[in-house]
Amino acid sequence: MFVSRVLENDAVRCADSVPPSRIMGTGFSRDGGARKRSTQRNVTLFKIKICGITSVKDAQLVGLAGADAVGLNFFAQSPRHVDLETAQKLVSVLRPATKRVGLFVNSTASEINEIAEALQLDYVQLHGDEPPELLADLSARPIIRAFRFGEKGADDITRFVEGCGAGRLPDAILVDSLKPGEYGGTGEVADWEAVSNARAGLGEIPLVLAGGLTPFNVADAIAKVRPDAVDTASGVESRPANKDPMLVRAFVNAAKKAFQQLESETS
């Protein structure tokens, strides 16, 4: 279930529920700088994201399949890496309603801001070891902070959120599986029970579940973890960086049905 959140004068308080895919996010200045004082702002959060899009064909496929968002990977060491020129071609064929998410690993704030502006990204996803302080240097776009969920459980997430202090909080937390030396896209399944147990510690920050999700397990994952959104890359590929049309459509359909079931249970 999506929840709304209102940040006002740097204090967080609960608000009434709003329609699916809508949350109340943090506020920023009109010149694109990070907030000093929070104001009320609507942010659209996707539910189903297909990450690691590398071709025009796959970008069109994801939109036709009904996914809410695509992920563009700017991590040079990833098999799903795209450069700015390629990314511009990909976003040019996306449907207007499809959210654009840029994935970065340990990039500088200036690098992230430059690409985000050039592509008019809807979300910036930090998937490396970025410190809380970096968030304040990013532009006004919503931020997804990814964590590789392993033996430490939610400890890293807790420390990061605490490290934000009175500064800028992430607009969503993404939980991926942990594989030493890797920054996601491994196909390893996250520990759903552990993630579910850690969910309460996120407070009002929405949760995006990733890590080994496929058309065959995404419904179970949604039922057990009850995330706000799901994200997959390798789980819908015939080979690295190549999306399989049947798997993409099956994943989207399974996830949509599972989210509808959640909503019916909570309505």
pLDDT at 190: 78
Average pLDDT for runs of 10 along the chain of length 267 = 33 32 40 37 80 97 96 96 98 95 97 98 96 95 90 80 91 80 59 84 89 96 96 94 97 98 89
Q: Specify if 54 maps to a domain.
A: yes
pLDDT score for 10: 33
CA distance 184 to 79: 11
Model pLDDT, residue 37: 33
Number of compact structural domains in the chain: 1
CA distance linking residue 38 with residue 11, whole number of Å: 8
Q: Is residue 38 part of a domain?
A: no
Q: Is residue 101 part of a domain?
A: yes
How far is Cα 31 from Cα 6, in angstroms, rounded to an integer?
Answer: 21
Q: Interior CA angle at 146 toward 158 and 218, to 5°?
A: 110
Q: Is residue 152 part of a domain?
A: yes
Q: Identify the CATH number of the domain in which residue 206 sits.
A: 3.20.20.70
Range of the domain at 189: 46-266
Kindly state whether residue 4 falls inside one of the protein's structural domains: no
Q: What confidence score (pLDDT) does residue 153 get?
A: 64
Pairing mode, strands 237-239 and 69-73: unpaired
> Residue 188: its pLDDT value, please?
72
**Does 12 fall in a domain?**
no
What pLDDT score was predicted for residue 167?
Answer: 87
The answer to whether residue 3 sits within a structural domain is: no
Residues that are catalytic: 51, 176
| pTM, 2 dp | 0.82
> Is 127 part of any domain?
yes
